[in-house]
Amino acid sequence: MAKKKKTELINPKENESVATVQPITETLVKNYMPYAMSVIVSRAIPEIDGFKPSHRKLLYTMYTMGLLTGHRMKSASIVGQTMFLHPHGDASIYETMVRLTRDNETLLHPFIDSKGSFGKQYSRDMAYAAARYTEAKLDPFCNELFDGINKDAVDFVPNYDNTREEPVLLPTSFPNILVSPNLGIAVGMACSICSFNLAEICDGTIALLKNPKTTVDRLLDIIKAPDFPGGAKIIYDRAQMQKIYETGVGSFKMRAKYEYIKKTNSIDILEIPNSSCIEEIMKKATDMIKTGKLREVTDVRDAIDLGGFKLTFDLKRDADPELVMQKLFSATALENSFDCNFNILVEGTPMQLGVREILLEWIKFRTKCLTRQLKFELGKKEDKLELLLGLAAILLDIDKAIRIIRNTELEEEVVPNLAAGFNLTTRQAEYIAEIKLRNLNRQYIINRVQEIESIKQEIEEIRETLRDDLKLKAMIISQLQAVKKKYGKPRKTEIIGKEDIVKPEEDIFFENYNCRLVLTRGGYFKKLSTQGMRSADEQKLKEGDFVIYTEDTDNRGDVLFFTDKGQIYRARVCDFDISKPSQMGDYIPAKLSMDDDEHVVGCKMIYELIKEHHMVYIFENGKGLRVSLGAYEAKSRRRKISGAYSADSPLVGAIYEGKDPKPIFIRSDAGRAMLIKSSLIPEKATRTASGVQIMQLPKKVVKVDLVTDRIEDVGTDATKCKKNAIPSTGTSVAQLSFNF
């Protein structure tokens, strides 16, 4: 029985309730891939007309509601009507609508003429009002979106419940895909399309229509750079911009526009980068003021009013406005980057294209729309010509037509009898039969028939245009020129060269002043102020501890800390607080989060790593070497340098050697010492080399226990240990007097 039950559990055919296992690959193909494609094609990525489905459905709904020419309507009503095409909830529809309005200031050319509070693109806290309070209609600019939509310019498909139809695309008469910005995150891909100036895009498209071989370099001269509704400035790098135009991928930097108001001693930020928001800038600036990195500013406030955007920084009396702006550009979103990723859908296929390729694809799309529109108009005119030719046929004998109608006994025979009597088609006879009795006179018929020649001429012109690609292109060019003339605006975003940008120095964020640095053998570090240096107080040290390094400097440089584990730690002088002589100072192993059982051996303050200068390392085993500071150069400023020198033997001393050799005092725990010049120690190209023997140690238990270049602290007897060659056993210190 147990065996039978086991069979039932593992055999789905015998027990249908047992679930089958689906391989992960099959799950991805059958379940995940359709979802991913739905997000890509039907939600997040714009089509060649420049719209995502949500945008298109909303605008088309407003168009069918007559809001292109009528009065404004409550937004709630518009949202409700849009749900017939877009059943994803009123909140998402209204958010889409907000972005397209004039008041939100997201678009260079808004599609919706709005009334009410619709928030602002540059603020996350200025929320839009509820849909029941706001009103909207289509902006006249939308005439360019729907040009030809009622003339079969694009395909229509049923909506989600098959109760009405909606367009697959909008037949935009200009490359809206590059005029309206678009951001979207799909599955496995995203898009980030910046906006360009409408007039420049029209000119660039015209150039490609006239010469499809127009290069990206030439397009850069026409379409100079992206253009944003918020203005600001683009830091222009032509090579960088050319890469974006060619590949559709890349980034460029933007910075805010500002002016200094001398009367009020304040800085007004008038325009900010498109990807920045005012609250983020204010928070960062406030934090900088609190931490002392922006001491020149007393207050930062939102000064937005009816005049538009304004962010004000009130300055202290002697503050330098240029220095303040350098700090703000370096640390806040007043300078920001825009990342481009031109992913669009072309006939339902995601493609990453550059500006030139996008314009060429739009030209193909617009050519198809215009061809379909012309064929539609041709069919209408041919139908009308057919009817007028039938009307002209009865002009010769109106009485005969009346007799045929009067003498026909059955209504359904009127059309066949007229067609037979005048040799007409069924459509022509039907048209004549529907003419009112009062219009069956010579004057009416002659007036209508006079249109025949003009219609024939129009038909021939349309046919000629359809046969000639150059004429089709000429029509598109003419439309683009009209759009540019009617809606073109000057650039809002200013272009500045990267060479015009003054790069701030690293020390602009802290106050500079003179100070004294002190390091003890026990690893305690102090930064003393000028007042502290003049104080008569003695340095507080732990019992048995003593000073191994001291230097008068300022607050701008870096301090290199050398440890007994072959590592160098780098910190800024400004990272340390001012200490008093009566304080112990910072314990460096804890302050810099050093490894367990790692101790500081020495330190040195530097401004930069100069190749001609050296570090001299003396190890516990009596060996030493000189290493150029250039060996520690790196692309980035590293806080910790591992493998900075040999770790075969613990480091006892690290001496900085500038242009001139330094005297170095070395002592062993066996009671011997030597004083040498650093130039006696050979330089090694490899910084982790074990070095050469400097002090000969008689036994393995003997080791070097003191290295210093502070000869004045050693005592006057130090000169009695002077050696002119290495290696050396040193001089016995039994009869000598030292301070250590």
Interatomic CA distance for residues 336 and 230, integer angstroms: 13
What is the phi/psi pair of residue 472, to 5°?
-65, -45
DSSP string, 273-324: -TT--HHHHHHHHHHHHHTTTTTTEEEEEE--BTTB--EEEEE-TT--HHHH
Residue appearing with tokens 């939100």 = 104
727 prior amide bond cis, ω within 30: yes
Both tokens of 345, joined, read 């859908």
Interatomic CA distance for residues 120 and 101, integer angstroms: 10
User: Which residues neighbour 349 within 8 Å (Cβ) at sequence distance 6 or greater?
Assistant: none
- Among 164, 160, 36, which Cα is nearest to 86's? 160
Residue appearing with tokens 């939600």 = 43
Q: How many residues does the chain have?
A: 740
Pairing of strands 494-497, 233-236: parallel
The radius of gyration of the chain from alpha carbons, rounded to an integer in Å, stands at: 42
What single-letter DSSP state applies at residue 629? G
What single-letter DSSP state applies at residue 130? P
Go through 217-232 and write b for each residue having 16 or more CB atoms within 10 A of its CB, e for each that does not: eebbebbbbbbbbbbb
Residues labelled as active-site residues: 133
First to last CA, the chain: 92
Bridge partner list, 570: 560
Go through 317-334 and write b for each residue having 16 or more CB atoms within 10 A of its CB, e for each that does not: eebebeebbbbbbebbbb
| Torsion sign over Cα 476, 478, 482, 484 | positive
| Torsion sign over Cα 398, 400, 403, 409 | negative
Whether residue 145 contacts residue 322, with contact meaning beta carbons closer than 8 Å, is answered with no
| Torsion sign over Cα 348, 354, 357, 360 | positive
Q: At what angle do helices 355-395 and 426-433 cross, to 10 degrees?
A: 70
Interatomic CA distance for residues 643 and 631, integer angstroms: 11
